């Protein structure tokens, strides 16, 4: 690009050309350019810090100040509409993006005023209340109609070519008032219409974040705004738009929907990336162990992010095998990393069911081996209820001692009479209900009874005194050896003739004690040995069997 308007590269010169020919050619080109100052199409060939250089099809190129593009600077190869306004000191054509002519006389001013057509002008200075504009004559542009937002922007307009509309015309006083703002608003409206018509669903476009709201972000797409809803920002859950975007960010988005009637444009950001749920069914299988971070906790469960955009739910019921959990927050907190087991995958509804207790292991899986029936266990009292006490035997496994299994000695109305929360207690396993996941324990079964003491004090073969408590049949008697101690007696030899006879009223403990004392003093008699056994009768018996484990005593008539 030459700085000399008569550079040989810009003007054709033959070996026999004279200086007069060159000057004539230059003037002819200049007159042609001035005749076309109403507007023409040019191609951008270069851009520097100050100017955009444009090829306008003449011997010399033209320049447009970068400031005339308001930040939307064209790139080399793009075509733009310009008007020729003159030439600079270096010989380049000075160009303007304003391609409307200035009125040539007052009749042209009157026509432009009546038709409300746009006219071109150059801002010459700042005056009180606005700007002075040369539109062929001196015109006044009020500050409120300049389109400038502050004094600095008004100062920046000085020396700039603008398009405006005549809003007041007094020919006699040569008073002209113009309005630039109305032109800017019309151009902006037209640009929006053009841009709106260009946008189609499925297109990928670039824009700048203009504002953030609770529900999304408004993105300037070049004259029109589109709404990027928070739900369309990412495949993962986004709490608020500011987590991903900030005002001024440049973003690439997809046009999802264009509503011409409501003038609304819906945008999507996540749609530019693959949907992770499309492969979730192949990635996650029931029974698979996976790890993830808890993203949020609700009243009914906790959500765990397995990968970006894919969350699973641990329902409240899948958090513990044995503990009654009232709130998920008692077990898990946001940000916590957990290992879980995949229970089910529904990609259509974008749901994955997870289990926390399954990953921890079922404490009931080997309960028969760890805590068999009749084994002695020890645990800590966790809770007391009216009907019994709950005891923790191992992590996630509890047993229950019924109130009736707390003591042999006395009637217990509430477990708190003998136990308190936190106590360590020994018990015997009485039963296992795997279906209901219940382990029944007993304490009184470990306490020595009167029968235990009686067995400990006697041996097989001992002759003892007892009372016939019941004649069960001709050969079987139930014998009371002491308070709370019973034995089974098998009548050998002849059948007991008293079978079926009415039994006298049962003697109370005092009468039994008196009868036994009298028997011990007399030492018994031969006549009584032959007497048929009857209920209530005190007799001598020989111990034939003592089974401490089963608390079993068997006797036979000794006389």
Question: Does residue 475 share a domain with residue 441?
Answer: no
Determine, yes or no, domain membership for 192: no
Rounded to an integer, what distance in angstroms lies between the CA atom of residue 396 and that of residue 379? 12
Question: Which residues partner with 212 through β-bridges?
Answer: 217
pLDDT beyond 90 at 69: no
Rounded Cα distance, 536 and 538, in Å = 7
Q: Are 240 and 249 a contacting pair, CB within 8 Å?
A: no
Which has the minimum average pLDDT: 229-238, 302-311, 362-371? 362-371
Q: Which of 478, 363, 518, 482 has its CA nearest to residue 432?
A: 363
- Asked whether residue 516 carries a pLDDT value surpassing 90, the answer given is no
Residues near 363 by beta carbon (within 8 Å), at least 6 away in sequence: 321, 322, 394, 395, 396, 397
| Structure confidence at residue 93 (pLDDT) | 81
Distances (CA, A) of 77 to 2, 68, 252, 502: 20, 18, 23, 127
- Stretch among 15-24, 114-123, 368-377, 423-432 having the lowest mean pLDDT: 15-24
| Residues 505 and 456 reside in one and the same domain | yes
Q: How far is Cα 295 from Cα 334, in angstroms, rounded to an integer?
A: 5
- The per-residue pLDDT for 22 is 43
- Mean pLDDT of all residues in 340-368: 87
pLDDT at 514 over 90: no
Inside any domain, residue 499: yes
Q: What's residue 466's pLDDT? A: 93
Phi then psi dihedrals of residue 457, to 5 deg: -90, -5
Structure tokens at 363: 């404490």
Asked if pLDDT for residue 306 goes beyond 80, the answer is yes
| Residue 159 CB contacts under 8 Å (≥ 6 apart), including other chains | 122, 123, 124
- Of the pLDDT bands very low, low, confident and very high (cuts 50, 70, 90), residue 191 is confident
- Which residues partner with 377 through β-bridges? 427
Is 321 exposed, middle or buried (CB count within 10 Å of its CB: 0-12, 13-18, 19+)?
middle
Q: Are residue 457 and residue 551 in the same domain, yes or no? A: yes
The CA distance from 223 to 193, in Å, is 9
Give the pLDDT score at 290.
Answer: 92
Residue ending a domain, among 402, 431, 446, is 446
* Contact indicator for 512, 467 with CB cutoff of 8 Å: yes
**What whole-number percentage of the chain has pLDDT above 90?**
34
How far apart CA 323 and CA 459 sit, in angstroms, is 49
Q: Does any domain span residue 194?
A: no
Residue 180 pLDDT class (50, 70, 90 cuts): very high
Highest-pLDDT range among 317-326, 410-419, 486-495:
410-419
Mean predicted confidence (pLDDT) in 369-378: 89
Task: For residues 435 and 461, state if they share a domain.
Answer: no
Tell whether 219 is covered by a domain.
Answer: yes
Residue with tokens 């959990």: 325
pLDDT at 228: 93
* CA pair distance 101, 36, nearest whole angstrom: 10
Q: How many CB atoms sit inside 10 A of residue 257's CB? A: 12
Does 479 or 502 have the greater pLDDT score? 479
**Mean of the per-residue pLDDT values of the chain:** 81
Which SS3 state, helix, strand or coil, does residue 440 take? strand
Q: Quick check: is 3 in a domain?
A: no
Find out whether 404 and 415 touch, Cβ atoms under 8 Å. Answer: no
Q: Please report the pLDDT score of residue 98 as a whole number.
A: 62
DSSP string, 96-156: ES---PPPSSHHHHHHHHHHT-EEEEEEEEEETTEEEEESSSEEEEEGGGS--SSHHHHHH
Confidence of residue 475 (pLDDT cuts 50, 70, 90): confident
Cβ neighbors of 553 (< 8 A, separation 6 or more) are 451, 454, 455, 481, 485, 486, 487, 488, 543, 545, 546, 547
pTM: 0.46
Do 173 and 234 fall into the same domain? Answer: no
With a cut of 50, say whether residue 36 has pLDDT above it. Answer: no
pLDDT of residue 480: 92
Per-residue b/e over 474-507, b at no fewer than 16 CB within 10 Å?
A: eeebbbbbbeebbbbbebeeeebebeeeeeeeeb
Residue 11 within a domain: no
Domain that holds residue 83: 19-96
pLDDT at residue 261, as a whole number = 81
Among 247, 272, 297, the domain-final residue is 272
Contacts of 430 (CB under 8 A, 6+ apart): 373, 405, 440, 441, 442, 445
- What is the mean pLDDT of the segment spanning 101-130? 85
Domain shared by 459 and 551, yes or no: yes
Whether residue 213 sits in one domain with residue 139: no
What six digits make up the tokens of 6? 């008569």
Least confident of 46-50, 52-56, 502-506: 502-506
Question: Are 216 and 255 found together in one domain?
Answer: yes
**Whole-number pLDDT of residue 524:** 46
* Secondary element (H or E) of residue 64: strand 62-65
Q: Which among 72, 66, 71 has a CA at the least distance from the CA of 52?
A: 66
Number of domains in the chain: 6
Looking at the structure, do residues 140 and 218 belong to the same domain, yes or no? no
Q: Give yes or no: residues 38 and 120 share one domain.
A: no
- Domain containing residue 292: CATH number: 2.40.50.140
**pLDDT at residue 85 above 50?**
yes
Burial of 177 (0-12, 13-18, 19+ CB in 10 A): middle
**pLDDT tens for each residue of 439-460:** 899 988 887 777 888 888 999 9
The reply to whether 454 and 553 lie within a common domain is yes
- Is 434 part of any domain? yes
- Euclidean distance between CA atoms 369 and 429, whole angstroms: 12
pLDDT of residue 29: 47
Model confidence band, residue 92 (pLDDT cutoffs 50, 70, 90): confident
Q: Mind listing the pLDDT tens digit for each residue in 320-350? A: 877 778 899 988 999 999 999 999 999 888 8
Q: Is residue 12 part of a domain?
A: no
Share of the chain above pLDDT 70, in %: 84
Widest pairwise Cα distance in the chain: 176
- Place 513 in a pLDDT band, splitting at 50, 70 and 90: low
CA-nearest of 476, 472, 486 to 543 is: 486
- In whole angstroms, what is the distance from residue 535 CA to residue 504 CA? 7
Same domain for 467 and 531, yes or no, is yes
Out of 186, 210, 240, a domain closes at 186
**Pairwise CA distance, residues 431 & 439, whole Å:** 6
Least confident stretch, 46-55, 66-75, 110-119, 243-252: 66-75
């Amino acid at each position: 690009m030459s700085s000399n308007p008569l550079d040989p590269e810009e003007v054709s010169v033959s070996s026999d050309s004279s200086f007069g020919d060159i000057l004539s050619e230059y003037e002819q080109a200049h007159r042609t350019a001035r005749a076309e100052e109403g507007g023409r199409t040019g191609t951008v060939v270069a851009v520097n810090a100050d100017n955009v250089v444009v090829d306008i099809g003449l011997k010399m190129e033209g320049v447009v100040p970068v400031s005339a593009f308001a930040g939307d600077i064209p790139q080399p190869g793009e075509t733009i509409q310009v008007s020729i306004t003159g030439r600079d000191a270096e010989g380049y054509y000075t160009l303007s993006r304003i391609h409307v002519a200035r009125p040539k006389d007052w009749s042209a001013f009157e026509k432009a005023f009546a038709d409300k057509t746009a006219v071109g002008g150059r801002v010459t200075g700042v005056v009180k209340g606005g700007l002075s504009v040369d539109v062929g004559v001196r015109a006044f542009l009020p500050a409120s109609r300049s389109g400038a937002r502050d004094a600095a922007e008004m100062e920046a307009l000085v020396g700039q070519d603008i398009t405006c509309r005549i809003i007041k015309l007094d020919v006699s006083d040569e008073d002209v008032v113009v309005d630039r703002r109305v032109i800017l608003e019309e151009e902006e409206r037209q640009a929006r219409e053009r841009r709106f018509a260009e946008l189609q669903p499925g297109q990928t476009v670039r824009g700048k974040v203009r504002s953030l709201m609770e529900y999304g972000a408004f993105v300037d797409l070049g004259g029109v705004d589109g709404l990027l809803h928070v739900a369309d920002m990412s495949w993962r859950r986004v709490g608020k738009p500011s987590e991903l975007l900030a005002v001024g960010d440049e973003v690439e988005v997809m046009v999802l929907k264009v509503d011409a009637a409501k003038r609304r444009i819906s945008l999507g950001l996540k749609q530019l990336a693959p949907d992770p749920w499309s492969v979730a069914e192949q990635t996650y299988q029931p029974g698979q162990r996976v790890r993830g971070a808890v993203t949020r906790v609700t009243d009914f469960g906790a959500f765990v992010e397995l990968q970006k955009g894919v969350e699973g739910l641990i329902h409240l019921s899948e958090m513990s095998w044995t503990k009654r959990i009232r709130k998920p927050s008692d077990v898990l907190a946001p940000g916590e990393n957990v290992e879980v087991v995949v229970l089910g995958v529904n990609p259509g509804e974008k749901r994955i069911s997870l289990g926390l207790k399954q990953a921890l292991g079922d404490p009931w899986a080997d309960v028969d081996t760890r805590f068999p029936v009749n084994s002695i266990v020890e645990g800590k009292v966790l809770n007391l209820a009216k009907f019994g006490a709950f005891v923790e035997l191992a992590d996630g496994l509890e047993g229950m001692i019924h109130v009736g299994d707390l003591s042999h000695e006395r009637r217990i109305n509430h477990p708190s009479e003998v136990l308190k929360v936190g106590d360590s207690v020994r018990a015997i396993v009485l039963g296992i209900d795997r279906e209901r996941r219940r382990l029944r324990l007993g304490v009184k079964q470990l306490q020595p009874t009167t029968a235990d003491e009686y067995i400990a004090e006697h041996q097989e073969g001992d002759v003892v005194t007892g009372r016939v408590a019941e004649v069960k049949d001709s050969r079987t008697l139930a014998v009371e050896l002491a308070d709370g101690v019973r034995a089974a007696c098998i009548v050998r030899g002849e059948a007991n003739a008293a079978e079926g006879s009415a039994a006298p009223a049962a003697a109370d403990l005092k009468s039994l004690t008196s009868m036994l004392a009298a028997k011990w003093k007399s030492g018994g008699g031969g006549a009584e040995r032959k007497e048929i056994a009857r209920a209530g009768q005190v007799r001598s018996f020989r111990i034939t069997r003592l089974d401490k484990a089963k608390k079993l005593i068997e006797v036979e008539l000794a006389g």
